[in-house]
Amino acid sequence: MVTPGLVSVVRGGPSGLAAAIALARQDIPVTVYEQHRDVGVRFHGDFQGLENWTSEEDVLSWLAGLGIALDCRYRPTHEVTLVDPALVPAQVRADRPLLYLVKRGSDADSLDSCLRVQAETAGVRFEFGRRVDPGDLPEPVIVATGPRGTQAVVAGIVAETSHPDQLVVIARDSLAPKCYAYCIVWRGRATLAAALAREFHSAWQCFERARAAFAILGLSEFHHEHRFGGRANICLRRQLVQARRLYVGEAAGLQDYLLGFGLRYALLSGHLAARSLLTGEPYAGPVSRCLREHFRAGFVNRLLYNQLGDRGYRWFIRWMHRGGDVRQRARRVYSLTPLHRVLWPLARAMARRDGCLDVRETTR
């Protein structure tokens, strides 16, 4: 094992904390510099999904393999209601959890706080309220500063509600251009939002249209509302490592290019960066081995999704609803099938044209 000495981690998101936990458990001194007063401050108790379809292994076991326990509040989700542009719902079901809902933010039951506790237990030192430039810190440095650019935005609310637990997703370009609107209800709280991959300037207008559509579906009772917004960076870095600064999570553009389910990429990249420092293996190698096929499939999926439009969304939802286990259908979408391989050169050219693909090590 290589002994890297003191390691600095810039920002305490999931990718940075995953790296800090892995290093501290090998008795490496780690300091996490978080510019806010706590971890998770940029979130507001909104719900996100830890997807469970890109591998046969359940994500809880997968996390255990990274040395991370999901000992925060979470909800395994087997059913999702997919709604087409005509607002016709179709409920799909998986035999095993399709995803695990988690809460983001600084509350004690959030994913972020859960990771912070595990890091502190392992001996990680935190410096809160301190904004640092990674270039000003002694190397090695793990850079987990979050999105560098904007390829998608989210506008929504968190609120209290009396609706029963459910997850509803609408695909309709007037509500969420080239993306989707969603409503998650869990134990009397709700997250209602529109995600946009185009027309960012109209985010809040799209949200209001999405809200009206959910009301037509019977989801209209929300109170004590709080607005939130966010953005996603899916622009892969030309270099994952600069000097001995290792970029992880969205700081490296490691994100799901189709639907934005990037938590697994964040946690895995942080763990792989830590392992690189511990073993001396170049970081780009394991990132490429672990994520290359997923990234190729993701860029092809985005190419196809951009071409669908409302008529295509209707067809896709019907295909997902055809029967059987929807988790297996989702795995097919995210696998590097012969169709994905044929379309990969076109998707790569599209992504480079849009400035979203400039790293060779990850996707070659």
Comparing 19-28, 60-69, 81-90, 230-239, which segment has the lowest mean pLDDT?
230-239
- Domain check: are 59 and 202 in the same one? no
Question: Total domain count for the chain?
Answer: 3
Comparing 87-101, 124-138, 142-156, 177-191, which segment has the lowest mean pLDDT?
142-156
- Domain check: are 175 and 283 in the same one? no
Q: What pLDDT is stored for residue 234 in this prediction?
A: 67
Comparing 10-14, 33-37, 64-68, 302-306, which segment has the lowest mean pLDDT?
302-306
pLDDT at 361 over 50: no
- Domain check: are 247 and 168 in the same one? no
Residue with tokens 């207008």, as numbered in its chain: 205
- Report d(CA 287, CA 281) in Å as an integer: 11
Q: Does the residue 179 lie in any domain?
A: yes
Domain that holds residue 199: 152-232
- Domain check: are 130 and 197 in the same one? no
**What is the average pLDDT score of the chain?**
91
Q: Which residues contact 263 (CB under 8 A, 6 or more apart)?
A: 14, 48, 49, 50, 51, 102, 111
Task: Kindly state the average pLDDT of the residues 118-134.
Answer: 96
- Domain check: are 303 and 284 in the same one? no
Task: Kindly state the average pLDDT of the residues 168-183.
Answer: 96
From 330, 96, 356, select the one nearest 232 (Cα to Cα): 356
3-state secondary structure of 42: coil
Domain end residue (candidates: 242, 265, 288): 288
Task: Express each pLDDT in 312-359 by its tens digit.
Answer: 999 999 999 988 899 999 999 988 899 999 999 998 888 777 666 554
Q: What pLDDT is stored for residue 363 in this prediction?
A: 53
Q: What pLDDT is stored for residue 291 in this prediction?
A: 83
- Domain check: are 66 and 135 in the same one? yes
Q: Which residues contact 331 (CB under 8 A, 6 or more apart)?
A: 53, 54, 56
Comparing 14-28, 184-198, 301-315, 346-360, which segment has the lowest mean pLDDT?
346-360
Q: What is the DSSP letter of 166?
A: E
- Domain check: are 306 and 201 in the same one? no
Confidence of residue 89 (pLDDT cuts 50, 70, 90): very high
Amino acid identity of residue 24, one-letter, is A
From 242, 246, 236, select the one nearest 142 (Cα to Cα): 246
What CATH number is attached to the domain comprising 172?
3.30.9.10
- Domain check: are 263 and 275 in the same one? yes
Q: What pLDDT is stored for residue 324 in this prediction?
A: 85
Task: Kindly state the average pLDDT of the residues 125-130.
Answer: 95
From 92, 196, 111, select the one nearest 152 (Cα to Cα): 196
- Domain check: are 210 and 260 in the same one? no
- Domain check: are 38 and 133 in the same one? yes
Task: Kindly state the average pLDDT of the residues 241-266.
Answer: 88
For the chain, counts of helices (H) and of strands (E): 9, 16
Q: What pLDDT is stored for residue 359 in this prediction?
A: 47
- Domain check: are 27 and 141 in the same one? yes
Confidence of residue 258 (pLDDT cuts 50, 70, 90): confident
- Domain check: are 177 and 216 in the same one? yes
**Token couple for 328:** 């297996």
Q: What pLDDT is stored for residue 323 in this prediction?
A: 80
Percent over 90 (pLDDT), the chain:
72
pTM of the entire structure? 0.93
Task: Kindly state the average pLDDT of the residues 208-220.
Answer: 98
Q: Which residues contact 208 (CB under 8 A, 6 or more apart)?
A: none
- Report d(CA 142, CA 257) in Å as an integer: 23
